[in-house]
Structure formats: C-alpha cells, structure tokens
Amino acid sequence: MLYPTELRAHVGTPRRSLILPRYTARAVGDTETVTRPDARYVLIGATGQLGFDLARTFELPGTLLTPPRSELDILDARRMGETLRALRPTHVLNTAAWNAVDAAEDEPRRAFALNAEAVGTLAEACQALGTTLVHFSTDYVFDGAKGAPYTEDDAPNPLGAYGVSKLAGERLARERCGSALVIRVSGLFGVARSAGKDGTNFVETMLRLAREGRPLRVVADQVLGPSYTLDVARAVWRVIASGHTGLCHVTSGGETSWHDFAHEIFRLEGMTPSLTAVSSDEYGARAKRPPYSVLAHRRLGALGIAEPRAWGVALAAYLAERRALNAPARPGSGRRTSG
C-alpha cells in the first residue's frame, strides 16, 4: 500500500493538507484481478476521508487519476463534463457529498444540490462516455424500524434531509447511468478525517473532548456499524473488480451504539473520561436519525468477497495508525508501510 510521506507531517494539522500528489497517475501492474490493464479510474474527493484511503489502496491494473476539486467540481456541470471527456475514464468514483447531517435540515437545497442533482448530472456524463459510475451512499437511507441488519433488498425510508438527499442521489445515479454501482457505507473513521464534518470524525471528536476534560453525553439508542475507511476502501476495489452493478453494502463487521463505540475508544486508549449514556431525545440533535442502521453484507457474500474485519478490531488498527502518524519521526526512517 502506498503511504504518502506527506501524511506523517500533516497529521494533527487541518486535514486539507493531506493532499495526494496532484493528478496522481499511478499505473499498477497485473494483480490477480481480472480488470483491464488500460482501465482509467477517476476518483472524485481524494482529499476526503474515504477518498484518501481509496487512493492509497488502489492496486488494480490500470491508472488512478485524482483531479482536485478546483479542476473537477461536480457542482459545475460544464467543466465537469469537459474534464471527464479529457480524462477518458473507464470508471468514475464519486465520494463528494454534503454529509453534515444536522446542517442538511437547515440547508436542504445545498444538500440536494451536491447529494442528488450533481450526482444525476455526473451519471448522465458517465453514461454518455460509456463510463461506470461508482457512487457512495449511506445507512441513513433507512428508518431503523426493521431492528435487524438491512440488506440491499430492503426498502429505504430516510428520516432526515441528509438521508432523503442521499437516496435521491442513489436513484439518479442508477436511473441515468446503466452501469452504476452504488455502495452504502456507515459511521466512517479514517486518518484523513471527514472534509464535510469540519475535518474530523467521531473517534477524533471523542478523543479531543476527553482530552479537554469535558463530560461526555453520547446517545445509546442508535445502533450502527462503525467503519474504518481503510478496510472499506480495500473491499470497494474488490467489488469494482467483480464488475457488479446496482447496490452493495460495505461496512466493518458487527454493530454497536454510539455510546458503546465511544466507550471502546476510551478503553483502547486507556482514558477514563466522564461518559454518560443518553437517549436521542435527551441529546436533542437537529436531525432525526435511525435507531438501527446496521447494513448486512448479503451482496458482498454473493460476490465471494470477505466482510471487512469487525469494527472493534478495525478501531484498534485505526488508533494504532494515528498513533504511528503522530509519533516523532526517527531521522532517516522510511515511510512505506502497510495498514
């Protein structure tokens, strides 16, 4: 796995400096996969949490291109079309999203513009170029009433503006691009942290608040599948290599509540902050969230792709990775590693 030397230097500073080499054009030799050696993958959002890990786990035959937002802004339909025509992709991966769940309630138009309308336009452009669109969606398209892991065949029913906009994006992607693959993920944590969530993620927020000595109130009545973007990214490339189109759920294994997730973060870090379990009503977030949004991995199983490791094991690996990145560099130490 490629591990950019830039990463170590910038962890702890705003995540925007975690930038991959501009227009990374990485040609990789044959692997055991069956993908074409002349395939060209355009990754939108390579500075984001999931995008960053997709870029560093790319190992398929072919070339990965990571145009920055300044050159491929999916809200600018004309330039997006021109850039895609120039890049001649066989696959476009779109990780760009408005994922500030509470803010989407106050600014639904902006959430819809990025999560739905721009996806529709992107899907049209991909269809015109004969390109496969790989688009990412969320567990928040479900209402949680099932109370058991949701399969790709379950009917969505989002509770908030974010989920409604993401579901609209899923549908536009599949309606307008015949070969679209929509991958639902959930509860992401990764070393690049989330651009759309003020450059942070749940793990980092918990650690920061605990370090500041703040008493923590975390909801215990919302159960999800927290997911390490490094593991999700590896599985995503396998799904793409399989040629599957339609829906696919990719998350870390297992489930937990946000409260128990926080508890495990502190246990693994040897911290003992004041942590109180609260209900969603007591917490009073702006957006309504599903009480249960765990995604089942039925499609992954059918494709013969192993489910990513359990979220607790993945969390320990993430914490180890961020510790290694924060450790002072030894003079002359190389920066190639695997995760």
Ligand X SMILES: NC(=O)c1ccc[n+]([C@@H]2O[C@H](COP(=O)([O-])OP(=O)(O)OC[C@H]3O[C@@H](n4cnc5c(N)ncnc54)[C@H](OP(=O)(O)O)[C@@H]3O)[C@@H](O)[C@H]2O)c1
Angle between helical axes of 311-326 and 258-269 (0-180°, round to 10): 50
Q: What are phi and psi of 231, to 5 degrees?
A: -70, -40
Give catalytic residue positions: 162
**Helix, strand or coil for residue 36?**
coil
Member of 188, 191, 235, 314 binding ligand X (CB under 6 A): 188
* Chain residues 77-136 in contact with ligand X, contact rule CB under 6 A: 95-97, 99, 114, 136
Bridge partners of residue 133, in order along the sequence: 92
Instruction: Output the smallest distance, CB 228 to ligand X, in A.
Output: 11
Which of residues 1 and 75 has its CB atom nearest to ligand X in the complex? 75
Q: Please report, to the nearest 10 degrees, the dihedral formed by the alpha carbons of residues 37, 42, 47, 49 taken in order.
A: -80
What is the CB-side half-sphere exposure of residue 19 using CA atoms within 13 A? 9
Which of residues 170 and 221 has its CB atom nearest to ligand X in the complex? 170
Instruction: Output the smallest distance, CB 249 to ligand X, in A.
Output: 11
Bridge partners of residue 132, in order along the sequence: 91
Binding pattern for the stretch 139-178 against ligand X, x by CB under 6 A and - elsewhere: ---------------------------x------------
Instruction: Output the smallest distance, CB 130 to ligand X, in A.
Output: 22
Q: Is 71 in the site for ligand X (CB under 6 A)?
A: no
- Centroid of chain to Cα 195: 11
Member of 4, 48, 156, 225 binding ligand X (CB under 6 A): 48
Contact between 155 and 289 under an 8 Å Cβ cutoff? The reply is no
Contact between 190 and 49 under an 8 Å Cβ cutoff? The reply is yes
Member of 187, 225, 290, 312 binding ligand X (CB under 6 A): 187
Which of residues 36 and 85 has its CB atom nearest to ligand X in the complex? 85
Q: Which two tokens stand for residue 128?
A: 């015109």
Instruction: Output the smallest distance, CB 222 to ligand X, in A.
Output: 13
Which of residues 33 and 200 has its CB atom nearest to ligand X in the complex? 200
Q: Is 138 in the site for ligand X (CB under 6 A)?
A: yes
Q: Which two tokens stand for residue 38?
A: 């002349």
* Chain residues 2-41 in contact with ligand X, contact rule CB under 6 A: 16
Q: Is 226 in the site for ligand X (CB under 6 A)?
A: no
∠ CA 158-237-129 to the nearest 5 degrees? 80
Report the C-alpha gap between 180 and 195 in whole angstroms: 24
Cβ-based neighbour number of residue 285 at 10 Å: 14
Instruction: Output the smallest distance, CB 307 to ligand X, in A.
Output: 17
Interface residues with ligand X (CB under 6 A) are 16, 44-45, 47-51, 69, 72-75, 95-97, 99, 114, 136, 138, 166, 185-188, 194-196
